[in-house]
Amino acid sequence: MTPSVLITGGTKGLGHEILNYFAPQSVSVSRANGFDIGTAAARAQIVQMSLEKDIFINHAHNGHFAGQTQLLYDVFEAWSRENKKGYIFNTGSFATTLPQGSFKRYSVIKHALDIANAQCCKKIENGLCSFRMTLLRPGMLDTPESRQKEHWRGNGVRGLDLAQVIEFLYKTPQDFLVSEFSVSAILPVDGGADGTVIK
């Protein structure tokens, strides 16, 4: 049976691929349909919607500290209070350990999400919650925007890849906790014996 899913930022790119994977049991909220995670009112609405779903995917980020990390805390507190069962996934980034150039602010914002996720997972590990949580940390993504970047190397993590990871983890035993899951794409090679990467 396909789990019911709520995802933030599922109107384009990676999020849209994940949304489609779990269709028709999936719903997306984003600025495009009136849900700005930077506002307390929108976060409150998202929290209420998440309580009706099996999986909540905290995917969208807005470039501000009062966004993805605050939404995680809001959802976590509500799920704890309601003794809800289910699974929360947070989309982090490799950039927290490998910051690159103009991504410095992005790296710091995503690092805040790393810490919040770790705090929440410790409570889950200690048996204080009925749900589970995982921070997904993808490397370079394969999206139209990523393919235009200077550091695009010919391959990246696809939405389908993450959707399948989410589905796999959701189906694992309830006492199995994966607090972080890092994923990356193998770069293409030119077929030479030395395995030279396409530049």
Q: Tell me, what's the pLDDT at 197?
A: 44
pLDDT in tens, 33-49: 989 999 999 999 999 99
pLDDT for the residue numbered 196? 44
Q: Would you state the pLDDT for residue 142?
A: 84
pLDDT of residue 111: 74
Q: What integer pLDDT is reported at residue 126 of this predicted model?
A: 97
Question: What spatial distance separates the first Cα and last Cα of the chain, rounded to whole Å?
Answer: 43
User: Is it the case that residue 29 has pLDDT exceeding 50?
Assistant: yes
Instruction: Please compute the mean of the pLDDT values over residues 75-82 and round it to a whole number.
Output: 98
Is the confidence at residue 95, as pLDDT, over 70? Answer: no
pLDDT higher than 80, residue 190: no
| Phi, psi values for residue 139, rounded to 5° | -85, -140
pTM across the whole model? 0.87
pLDDT category of residue 102 using cuts at 50, 70 and 90: low
C-alpha gyration radius of the chain: 17
Can you tell me the distance from the alpha carbon of 117 to that of 37, in angstroms, rounded to the nearest whole number?
A: 17
Q: Which of 10-19, 83-92, 94-103 has the lowest mean pLDDT?
A: 94-103
For residues 74 and 44, the answer to whether their CB atoms sit within 8 Å is yes
Model confidence at 124, pLDDT cuts 50, 70, 90, reads very high
How far apart (Å, rounded) are the C-alpha atoms in residues 69 and 117? 8
